[in-house]
Structure 1
């Protein structure tokens, strides 16, 4: 490495309502400075050559209940499950309907993003957090052992490796939920909207959704629609909260799932992942958090399984069985380019 990565911490930066400390560790090197909380395994800060790239909160207590999964690892099942219900091996499971009382979203109101993880390993260039989800937690079957490793692996590159093992058949879909804006001010707000960001997603298909943002089951071609983002496209005022299909299988190594630039910025973000889909969300509901974030002040690119996969036999399976290992890799690569 040309700029050796280094880690400091973890150190206490706050406390949970029950008195347990909130811990933070920091990784730095290769042009990146990253702060990680044990609460939700959150990326609290991610700076590239001194410029912030993600929305975050100075007060760690805001992550206890207020932030909309900012920077967190979400699960046990990221995205939505219709009606908070799925059937596995003949048994039907009911999950909290934490999205307007209608659907299950991001593992529930007390999903992985609201849980205290454990800093299990802190090395020279990476750190690993672990969490054990109990059988029945948020309605899911099986005890699940989850690990999340953050590592600076090259210039401007943060790699996230997510693994999980279960003692009973269950469903698993993990992702990181960072909100990106390449035009964030160094300090304070307001952040500009993402309208002048340019996005490229190399997907031939996407998943149409109903009025509850639940996939209809169709896998539709992007050609001839506003979802055709195969070439760099200015986001403008168009709304997105959709899964783009990258393939039917999880790949052994990450491949490009999205690329973002912005007028007025000399930074490009490339997201790589092993997941079969990526959710592109435009941050429409950010203002509802009541934390000073404006609507559409950042975007998410969430590599993941197909949303509501357990309820669609035609979608790739999200089932994990004893003896198997769930594995997902996400990379955020930042590069300097000529300002647009």
Structure 2
């Protein structure tokens, strides 16, 4: 159908018909004899119109070269239409006595032949080239071509649309899986943060426990030395003889250096020492070495439990008070 449409359009051009070229309707008859008589009575050639398409016809003639085998047709009209619908056909020959139709498809130029009386009843037919058919004649082929192309386009488009639908479904499934994975990832991240927080808390608790353990070990060591007699007890009044010569001077006991302040006592922001024990002067200082928490000492010479040990950070000596028989001792 498409080739016929292109064949028709390619052969169209605008011409002006004269009165002598006006077509007849002799090819409208439905039987062979009627057509032949209508077209060839009193004339040897003419023009007739079929569905708006003009055809030339030549009576008692045939086209050369001629097709080797005929097609059976009911009329010259049908024979002309068969040639028109065949894009390769250049002309057709119709025999009225038997309805044979010979379609010439050779690329050679058509030669009109006539050989009376043998050619009597023959009609050589061909489309009239160089004329524009009426719009109504083109409409059926144009509509058919449009419908055919529309159907073909829809057929080609369908597998593409089906593939697109499959891809969309796969993409939706992928997105759903991705959301699940992201949700699981977020849950794992939250669990990891919780574990990190718990681990940090455990580490801080471990540090506190370790520090407490060190303090307890130091205290235990001190009391063990005290019980074992490694730490002796001397007269506190003899220790007071160190002042005022020891005031402001350093003293090193067991490798740790301290500074001494006569007639001064330490002040702790919390107001109290951590503990107090009965020890001599240097033994009191040595006990501070063994206690990780020890920040300083008040050594009272007028009391029996002379060694007051402080653990509060920021402990410092107060101004001198000569009515107090005390020596403040702080690490250097």
**TM-score band, normalised by shorter chain:** under 0.3
Structure 1 length as normaliser, TM-score?
0.19
Higher strand share: 1
Identify the structure with bigger relative contact order (alpha carbons < 8 Å, sequence gap 6+). 1
| Larger CA Rg, structure 1 vs 2 | 2
Higher helix share: 2
